[in-house]
Amino acid sequence: MKNLILVINPGSTSTKLSLFNTDTEEEVQTTVIRHTVEEISQFDRISDQKDFRSSIILSFLDEHNITLDSLKAVVGRGGLLKPIPGGTYIVDEKMLENLIDEKYGSHASNLGAILANDIANDAGVDSYIVDPVVVDEMQDIARVSGLKGIERRSVLHALNQKAVARRCLNEINKDYENSQVIVAHLGGGVSVGAHKNGQMIDVVNGLDGEGPLTPERTGGLPAYDFAKFIIEKELTLPEVKKYLAGNGGLKSYLNETDIRVIEERANNGDEKSSYYLDAMCYQIAKAIGECAVVLQGNVDLIILTGGVAYSKYVTEKVNTYIKWISTTKVYPGEMEMEALFKGIQRVLNKEEKAKKYSEVD
């Protein structure tokens, strides 16, 4: 009986796998398979890992006595593709070609569709991706940067943002497609989205040097001073990117990225830790305020999600600044595996139609 959905979420040194029952909508099996640096380093390109990871996935199914003919569909984490609207996409040849050729960049998530397609072909079913990081639904005016030739980009935790928005709005009897909500994903990077009627019409790009400082990212910097910094240190572009995302934020001030450690220091009277942690909270709140302006103050709900949302220090501090805007809901962690399954389930239940990557302009 075909009633299982296999969910594949590849990371740089891990592969997350889950099986969901389409009848009960329950996760019936899940695991995280770790890969050593030695195992991964033998491959020159991300796509070269396909056979290695596929064999591991098949072993996982065998271990749990899951036959391929019990799969109804396979879904993978979406990778670096061209900018596309949100939704569930069937994996097609154009998508695979772009991922294998790394046309839009190299990242472990590129394997999601590749692996899903490989397993699905063996099972004789369709493969999909859902809300990849390249989801772009920004209104045109939001793309204007202030310098001709440079446009603002939509880069954010789209999968978790949309999934958490749907769940939290459903809990207050509201429909995502007819609501206005702000979602702040708080992790090593912070992204904030203004969601209006099912579309992320503006975002605070948490990767390219926008928005708040984070545990390891600078956020927006004074442009002139940063330009001088780059020239004085004679930085290459990769080195600049490493400052923006990796060596910036709380790491640069406190030499620490673990919020649990920083929060403990702050609670134990370390004024330096509390000062910069408070600064991060202040800037997160400012970014949420920007999105409130985009939605003209009509905000049904503000959601704080991601790993850092486990910190009561952070969520409570942020809420002191934003509670006047709307009700705040804290949904810590992420629901990526469930979100991938839910995307397929909406298609199977004919609540939405699967899109084709090759047909997006």
pLDDT in tens, 66-97: 999 999 999 999 989 999 999 999 999 999 99
Whole-number average pLDDT of the chain: 94
Max Cα–Cα distance, the chain, nearest Å: 65
Lowest pLDDT segment from 2-6, 105-109, 139-143, 306-310:
105-109
Q: Report pLDDT for 12.
A: 81
Q: Report pLDDT for 156.
A: 84
Q: Is the pLDDT of residue 205 over 90?
A: no
Q: Report pLDDT for 107.
A: 84
Q: Report pLDDT for 134.
A: 87
Mean pLDDT of 61-67: 94
Q: Is the pLDDT of residue 207 over 80?
A: no
What's the start-to-end Cα distance of the chain, in Å? 38
Task: Provide the 8-state DSSP code for 333.
Answer: B
Dihedrals phi, psi of 135, to nearest 5 degrees: -55, 125
pLDDT in tens, 126-184: 999 999 988 999 999 999 999 999 999 888 889 999 999 999 999 999 999 999 999 99
Q: Do the beta carbons of residue 213 and residue 250 sit within 8 Å? A: yes
Q: Report pLDDT for 307.
A: 93
Mean pLDDT of 280-293: 98
Dihedrals phi, psi of 53, to nearest 5 degrees: -75, -35
Confidence band of 293 (pLDDT split at 50, 70, 90): very high
Domains and CATH numbers, the chain: 4-136+337-359 (3.30.420.40), 158-333 (3.30.420.40)
Q: Report pLDDT for 44.
A: 87
d(CA 201, CA 298): 14
Q: Report pLDDT for 189.
A: 87
Q: Report pLDDT for 312.
A: 96
Task: Provide the 8-state DSSP code for 70.
Answer: G
Q: Is the pLDDT of residue 206 over 80?
A: no
d(CA 340, CA 27): 12
Crossing angle of helices 50-63 and 111-123, in 10° steps, is 50
Lowest pLDDT segment from 9-18, 205-214, 225-234:
205-214
pLDDT in tens, 94-111: 999 999 999 998 888 899
For residue 279, count other CB atoms closer than 10 A to its CB.
Answer: 15
Q: Is the pLDDT of residue 1 over 80?
A: no
Mean pLDDT of 36-59: 91
Task: Provide the 8-state DSSP code for 45.
Answer: S
The SS3 assignment for 24 reads coil
